[in-house]
Amino acid sequence: MNYSIERNGKIHGPYDLNAIKVYVNEGKILLNDKVVSTSKEIRIIRDVLKKHNVKYKIKNNGHIIKQIKSFGFNLLLPKKSFSFATLKSDQKLFILSLIGLAPAFLIKFSGAGIFTFYAIALYFSVIWGLFFYTIFKTKQVSIGKSVIIFFAVQVLIFVSVDLLRITEINPLYSLISDQNSFIEKLIGFIFGVGVFEELVKLLPVFILLRFSKEPLLPQTVVFYGLISGIGFGVFEGVIYQLTVNSKLDYGTGFFLNIARLTSLPFLHAIWAAISAYFISFSFLYPNNRYSLWLLAILIPAILHGVYDVFTWSLPGLFISYLGVALLIVYLKNAKDFQNRISK
């Protein structure tokens, strides 16, 4: 009986059992090569040999040292490929090395100071940025504008919190104390923390839209919102690592330090992206701008505030997931929303 073989989309054969045995022994046919057959019992060459009780023994090309020598030294350590010009032009090598080795170099050549914390925060920001760029990029997205938004939101945090002390003079912030009731804390976190922080993250995106020379797609603006949220989240994370987290026990501090570089910047990005979604429509349909401005602040502020009340509990995790789900649903329904709002 003859059998045809499919490998990488190409059909080879047909071969009889003796030919298959010879080719298997020589390594030309593989045991897991797919067999073109209607039988459910025979799917690969190994099944064919087993069914017909055919014994096989794959040959070795000499001993191990001989095999290694046959590969050739130039293939194992190619001199030409290690030239400075070649390595410099290899973007894949540059990106892989940067992402994989940056933390090791930072730890080696810097102490555990603010520079190291911030540099590592930038490292995670680049990873998040590349991730968001892969998923949400459009032809309108500008890397230069993304970088400006990333650092602009951090300047806004520094000015508003450290110089103007807005959080200290805002009476709603006094409600977030553990001494207050659940309702008081909820009001404080939503209308104090949530509204203020979402406004800060939204402002760079709003300014970008205000001076844009072309109408921007909602997905483009969402990407810029994600970048603004990441910038806010990692900057806030560095401050917490140097202050609050440093006073905690090792286990709690370690957990929160990791969270401040990963999940929490991600959540800030999601909430900022929801804000950016509604702001984008306010510039496309200015007749409805006031209601869209309100939604741009209120929805993420509620998500933000409720999460801050529950944090890592099950309700808090549900609120986190709800924010991500809302963003995806909003983007999927963008055309329907656009049709409704244009009437």
What's the pLDDT tens digit per position in 277-327? 999 999 999 999 999 999 999 999 999 999 999 998 999 999 999 999 999
Structure tokens at 25: 């022994």
3-state secondary structure of 36: strand
Q: How far is CA 336 from CA 81, 137, 218, 273, 341, in A?
A: 53, 21, 13, 19, 9
> What is the longest distance spanned by two Cα atoms in the chain?
88
Q: Identify residue 39 by its one-letter amino acid code.
A: S
Examine the pLDDT at 250 and tell me if it is beyond 70.
Answer: yes
Task: Assess contact for 94 and 86: CB atoms under 8 A.
Answer: no
Burial class (CB in 10 A: 0-12, 13-18, 19+), 121: buried
Do 81 and 75 contact (CB within 8 A), yes or no? no
**Tokens 């059992």, residue located:** 17
- The whole-number average pLDDT for the span 186-199 is 97
pTM for this prediction? 0.76
Nearest to 193 by CA among 143, 157, 149: 157
Residue 73, pLDDT > 80, answer no
CATH class of 3-59: alpha beta
Contact of 230 with 152, CB cutoff 8 Å: no
Task: Summarize pLDDT for 105-162 with one digit per residue, the tens.
Answer: 766 666 656 777 888 888 889 889 989 999 999 999 999 999 999 999 999 999 999 8
At 248, list the tokens.
């905690």
CA–CA dist 220, 205 (Å, integer): 11
> Per residue in 194-242, pLDDT tens?
999 999 999 999 999 999 999 999 999 999 999 999 999 999 988 888 7
Residue type, 84: F
Domain boundaries defined on the chain = 3-59, 90-341
The residue-averaged pLDDT of 163-187 equals 94
Q: How many helices (H) and strands (E) does the chain have?
A: 17, 3
CA distance 216 to 283: 9
Q: What was the pLDDT predicted at 65?
A: 86
pLDDT of residue 42: 82
